């Protein structure tokens, strides 16, 4: 289902009310328009006797939603791991400090000393501009 579930991202949920005959109280409903769902993925629609779209197959939509949620959750977990690594690297850099090639020792804060390293096409430093 990997890529197939991406179709649900094109679905547009709607709010509607059933006709008074079906729901005299007119309670707001939430769902999908079968004809619109059919345009996105015909397999997500249940049909009537004339083979016209009748309703969305919500059990299939739910399974696809779960698949997309799980994919997004995995992505978030991977990003969190990367953020944790980057935070640890930043913490280490802040505690050690940067060393300028022409001045041994620690540099002050980034705000106090701004440096721009200019690189040539061979990825070798060609000059330092120090403020």
In this structure, the answer to whether residues 11 and 54 fall within a common structural domain is yes
Do 1 and 67 form a contact (C-beta atoms < 8 A)?
yes
Do 56 and 39 form a contact (C-beta atoms < 8 A)?
no
In this structure, the answer to whether residues 9 and 66 fall within a common structural domain is yes
In this structure, the answer to whether residues 85 and 105 fall within a common structural domain is no
Q: Does the pTM exceed 0.75?
A: no
pLDDT tens per residue, range 43-65: 999 999 999 999 999 999 999 99
Enclosing domain of residue 108? 100-131
112 pLDDT more than 50:
no
Q: Which two tokens stand for residue 104?
A: 């041994």
In this structure, the answer to whether residues 120 and 86 fall within a common structural domain is no
**Based on the number of CB atoms within 10 Å of its own CB, is 65 exposed (0-12), middle (13-18) or buried (19 or more)?**
middle
Q: How many domains does the chain have?
A: 2
68 pLDDT more than 50:
yes
What pLDDT sits at residue 94?
84
In this structure, the answer to whether residues 61 and 29 fall within a common structural domain is yes
């Amino acid at each position: 289902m990997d890529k197939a579930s991406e179709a649900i991202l094109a679905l547009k949920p709607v709010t509607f009310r059933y006709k008074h005959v079906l729901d005299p109280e007119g309670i707001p409903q939430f769902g999908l328009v079968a004809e619109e769902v059919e345009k996105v993925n015909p397999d997500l629609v249940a049909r009537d006797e004339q083979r016209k779209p009748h309703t969305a197959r919500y059990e299939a939509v739910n399974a696809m939603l779960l698949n997309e949620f799980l994919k997004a959750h995995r992505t978030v977990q991977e990003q969190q791991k990367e953020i944790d690594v980057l935070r640890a690297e930043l913490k280490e850099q802040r505690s050690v400090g940067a060393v300028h090639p022409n001045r041994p020792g620690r540099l002050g804060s980034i705000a106090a000393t701004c440096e721009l390293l200019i690189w040539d096409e061979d990825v070798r430093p060609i000059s330092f501009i120090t403020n």
